[in-house]
Amino acid sequence: MMIKYPDVFFSVLARPVIFVLIALGLHLLLRGAKAPGGGFIAGLVVAAAALLSRMAMDRPLLSFNTRLLIPWGLLLAAATGIAPMLLGLPFLKSAFGYQTWPFIGKFPWETALLFDMGVFLVVVGITVTIIDLLAQEAEYELVVMEVESGQEH
């Protein structure tokens, strides 16, 4: 007996939650050096958003092929490692400082943030890919069930 109920409430109310989750994820990523946050946590928050979007609206969070995020993340992390070497500094030497721009005012920048973004991309790449695959698998089960139930009648 296959029960199929459209969770109207859930899918409607999930949109704002997903929006906040993604905003929170990026916020955590960008303030990594100053306050609790960082690539791993931000990546997992975005993964939670992907889970929610899959569950509530049955729609992938990111439309592109998230598998490519993994090598790009690694490349970014490696680049921040190798770039200082080209300037004669040892591997993974990081630099930091403060910038003041007209509208934004004084804000700190650090190259470690780029490395953190690399970590973020890898974590997001892996979790979202797995979630999408599991969802496809579930969707696929349904197709199989329908075909089998179709054959019964």
Partner 1 sequence: MIVNIALACLALAITVAVYRVLKGPSWGDRIMAFDFLTVNLAVLVVVLAVRTEITVLLDVALLVSILGFLSTVALARYLLRGRVFK
Partner 2 sequence: MSASFLLLAAVLTPFGAAILAPFLGSSLKARAGLLLALAFAPALALLTQLGPALAEEPLSATLAWVPAIGLEIALRADGFSLMFALIVAGIGFLVMAYATAYLGAQERHGRFYSYLLIFGGAMLGLVLADNLIALFAFWELTSISSFLLIGFWDSRKASQDGAVKALLVTAFGGLALLVAVILLILAGGSTQLSLLDIESIRQSAYFIPAVTLLLLAAFSKSAQLPFHLWLPTAMEAPTPVSAYLHSATMVKAGLVLVAKFGWLFADTAFASIILYVGLLTLFWGAYLALRQQDLKALLAYSTVSQLGLIMSLYGAGYPLAATAHLLNQATFKAALFMVVGIIDHETGSRNLSRLSGLWRKLPLTFALALPAALSMAGLPPFGGFVSKELFYEDMLYKGWLPITLAVTGSIITFAYSFKFLSVFFGPLRSENPKVHEASLSFWWPVLPLSLAALLFGIYPLTLSWFTNLAAPGLGFEAEPLKLYKGLNLALILSVLTWVLGLALYLLRTRFIAWQQALTPSWNANTVFYALSAGLERLAQGLTKRTQGASFATHLRLIWLPFALAGLAVGGWFLPAKLTPVSLSFAVAALMILAGSLGVLLARSRLSALLFMGLAGFSSVLLFVLLRAPDLALTQLLIEAVTVILFLSVFRYLPVLKRHHRRRSVAIFDIILSLGVGTTVFAALLAVQTPIGERIKDYFLEFSEELAGGSNVVNVILVDFRGYDTMGEITVLALVGFSVYALLRLRARASSGKIEEERPDDD
Partner 3 sequence: AEDVAVIRANWLTDLLMLIGSFFILAAGIGVLRFPDFYTRLHASTKLVTLGGLGIFIAAAVAFIPNAATERLLLIAAFFFLTGPLSGYMIARSGYLRGLPLYKEEGSADEWEAQGEGLEQFEKDNASSDD
Chain residues in the site for partner 2 (CB under 8 A): 28, 32-41, 44-45, 47-48, 51, 55, 65, 67, 70-71, 73-74, 77-78, 81, 85, 88, 90-92, 94, 96-97, 108, 110, 112, 115-116, 118-119, 122-123, 125-127, 129-131, 133-138, 140-141, 143-144, 147
Least distance (Å) between residue 22 CB and partner 3: 14
> Which of partner 3, partner 1, partner 2, none does 142 bind, CB closer than 5 to 8 A by kind?
partner 1
Helix (H, G, I), strand (E, B) or coil at 106: strand
Q: How far is the CA of 48 from the CAs of 45, 51, 64, in angstroms?
A: 5, 5, 18
Where are the extended beta strands (E) located within the chain? 96-101, 105-110
Of 50, 43, 57, 48, nearest to 14 (Cα)? Answer: 57
Instruction: State which amino acid sits at residue 148.
Output: E
Least distance (Å) between residue 9 CB and partner 2: 19
